[in-house]
Every structure is written in structure tokens, then in C-alpha cells.
Amino acid sequence: MVSFFAVIANSVVLGSRVFALRGASFICRKSGPSNNLSFRSSIQVSTRQSLFISKGDSQINIDNMSEKQLEISKDTTKTSANPPLIRYRPGMDVGTLEDWPFENPSSNYVIHDNTSPKASGRIDHSTVTTRTGIWKCTVGKMECTEQGDELMTILSGKVEVTDVSTGQVVLLQPGDSMFSYNGKRLIWNVLEDVTKVFYGSKADGYS
């Protein structure tokens, strides 16, 4: 089980300890029954006597952690100090994508009507709670639970999206945009191989 600890105002609470923050906020997560916490973000944390800055993922054990030692790390995104703008437009060549099988248990995928859709994609930028990239899917019909709030724009193809809870149907073609909500159960009926660019946000983080 993974649990997340959130930053409150200008401090973070770990157990009974409170640490002051300088700079950006962050999210840390605890995996399994141990007390290992993985810190991922761009941040400065000031304790009473020390200030530590490091790069790369790291873990600390809160059972052995004193207020003199707190090591944090920078999120492993591909962002440089001055990243270039990324342009997306209908009909563009989206470049190399990797297979994205319908296997995420949280999405609970169901394939409909004996179709065989195949998905692929690429993450162009990400943080702990956001991600931007390309998603492509071949003709077919599948149902899933949306992971995160998402704004998407169709670059090519045609897809009919049905909101399972309301019955609302939205037909999307190149240039069309749609916003969906975290936890929405949607049916994606891909009428023509479809490619979209997306920006997603999930408060408790992407696994």
C-alpha cells in the first residue's frame, strides 16, 4: 500500500516532527509496511541545524531520522533549467511511442464488442502529480476509469467517448478538445486510429 503525505502551509509533518519549508512544496510517499519515505520534488527543507539539497531519488527511515538530518531529492523529470517549448498540432508526426497495454488495475479496463484496440504513448514531461504526453490507440472499443483530471486535444483520427454514469456522448476529431475528471468511467469507441496530446493532474500522484 502506498500512502501520501501532503505539505501543509509552510511546514511538513512527519510523525511528531515538523520541518519548515523553503521553496516549492512537495509530496513524499511511503511504500509497504516499512517506514521508508521516498521524497520526490524540487525543494529546500530547512531543519533547526542543517540544510540538505540532493539530486535523484532517495529514501530515509523516519525511525532513525533526527532533526539534524533530513535528506530530500529532486524529482526525476526530463526538465532542464530552461526547457524548450513543446508544440503540438493536428496531423503532426508524433515520433516514437512505446506500447501502453491495457493493464493498469486502477483503470480496470474492459474491452468491448470483441475488438482488439492497441495503445501506445509517450510522456513528454512529468512531476509527481502531473504529466503531459501523447496517447495513440488503434480502432476498437474499451472502457476504463480515468486516472487524474485530464485536458486532451485530438491530433488525428476519430473517437467517440461515452460517460458511463450520465450517458453523455462526445465525438472528437482533429482539433477538438475535451476535459475529463479523475475517477470518471468512460467508454472509448475508436472509430479511426486516434492520437491525442494530454495534460493530466492527480492530487495523490501517479503510480
Give the H/E segment covering residue 196. Answer: strand 185-201
pTM attached to this predicted model: 0.63
Q: Which pLDDT tens digit goes with each residue over 138-159?
A: 999 999 999 999 999 999 999 9
Distances (CA, A) of 118 to 6, 73, 159, 183: 36, 36, 14, 22
Q: Which pLDDT tens digit goes with each residue over 40-52?
A: 333 333 333 333 3
What percent of the chain is helix, strand and coil (3-state, nearest 5)? Answer: 0, 50, 50
CATH 2.60.120.10 fits domain 98-201: yes
Average pLDDT over the chain reads 75
Annotated domain spans of the chain: 2-61, 98-201
Whether 35 has a pLDDT exceeding 80, the answer reads no
